[in-house]
Amino acid sequence: MNNSNKSVVVAGGGGFIGGHLVGDLIKQGYSSIKVIDIKPLKEWYQVFPEVRNVVADLKSLENTRSAVEGVDEVYNLAADMGGMGFIENNKALCMLSSLINTHLLMSSQEAKVGRYFYASSACVYSEDKQLSVDNPGLKESDAYPAMPEDGYGWEKLFSERMCRHFLEDYGITTRVARYHNVYGPDGTWEGGREKAPAAICRKVISAKISGSQEIEIWGDGEQTRSFMYIDDCIKGSQMLLHSEVEDPINIGSSQMVTINQLVTIVEEIAGIKIKRNYNLDAPKGVRGRSSDNSLIEELFDWSPSISLELGMEKTYKWIYDQITK
């Protein structure tokens, strides 16, 4: 694909997924890359001097109009979000992210943007489909009848519908990915917004360095999840944007594990055995969640392939370096 004449905006590009996406777009030779994030530049996970880096609040319609002017493609990764501890205690803040997508869509329609990508989440899926640890995998159709996760999940589902209706009413080529627990290096690993893979790496590393040999686990550790390594996420997202698939689609690993199994993987990487203290009052999320990849395999002959063991080893090494600095 010849990208030498294409211009792209990455909204939320100072974040974890956005930073990796920008790095990949640079390698592909996009002629113009604009990266926008609300955080101060020093707080961005990755900063690339060869692109245009802008600090701005994209909840503002004025800022979104400026952002997409003369642009061919928009990746909307911008949102207030984090791990379960964050989203369960910041529902209103999560809902306000709907302003970002709404204003970016309005501005993209005015500017005649060629293609628009929206990063949704597995949190849109109906809670009654996630009551058992033996989750068979969430199909795209399981989002309806709607009963998503309160706050964050509702915002994502509403924003998906906005993309759908801007496609139908205004002809904007919108594409929607439902991410399932993306993890990897150069992301959040402390402070309350980190997700389970990074949190467990940090806890095990700290236990090893301090000699305490014990960690806290939220819940009983038997809740199930699937986790997707960042490289698979970036590949799947770009593949979807440039496709003719108009409906939301899962981009996530089908390799489901319990949180206890995830801890065991990290123990093996660290070369230690630790005592597990279970906090049954901590935020736990749904009981079981995994990605059914039947549709993406059928349409693209592809699904995320980097194993959890390999991805966690890379993530562990990066977080270890951050802690020992």
Which tokens sit at 63?
């800022």
Angle 160-231-195 from CA coordinates, rounded to 5°: 65
Which tokens sit at 264?
């065991």
Which tokens sit at 163?
């993309």
Number of Cβ atoms within 10 Å of the Cβ of 127: 15
Q: HSE, CB side, 13 Å, CA atoms: give it for residue 170.
A: 20
Task: State the Cα–Cα distance between residues 319 and 325, nearest whole angstrom.
Answer: 10
Please name the residue that has the structure tokens 């503002």: 60
- DSSP percent split of the chain into helix, strand, coil, nearest 5: 45, 20, 40
Please name the residue that has the structure tokens 């939320």: 12
Task: State the Cα–Cα distance between residues 141 and 154, nearest whole angstrom.
Answer: 16
Question: Is 97:186 a contact under the CB 8 Å cutoff?
Answer: no
Q: Judging by DSSP bridges, how do beta strands 228-229 and 182-183 pair with one another? A: parallel
Catalytic residue among 152, 179, 316, 320: 152
Residue 304 phi/psi, 5-degree rounding, is: -50, 135
Indicate the helix (H) or strand (E) that contains 121: strand 115-121
Nearest to 44 by CA among 53, 31, 32: 53
Question: Is 52:70 a contact under the CB 8 Å cutoff?
Answer: no
Please name the residue that has the structure tokens 């996530």: 252
Mark whether 152 is an active-site residue.
yes
Nearest to 119 by CA among 97, 151, 139, 141: 97
Maximum Cα–Cα distance across the chain: 60
Return the active site residues: 152
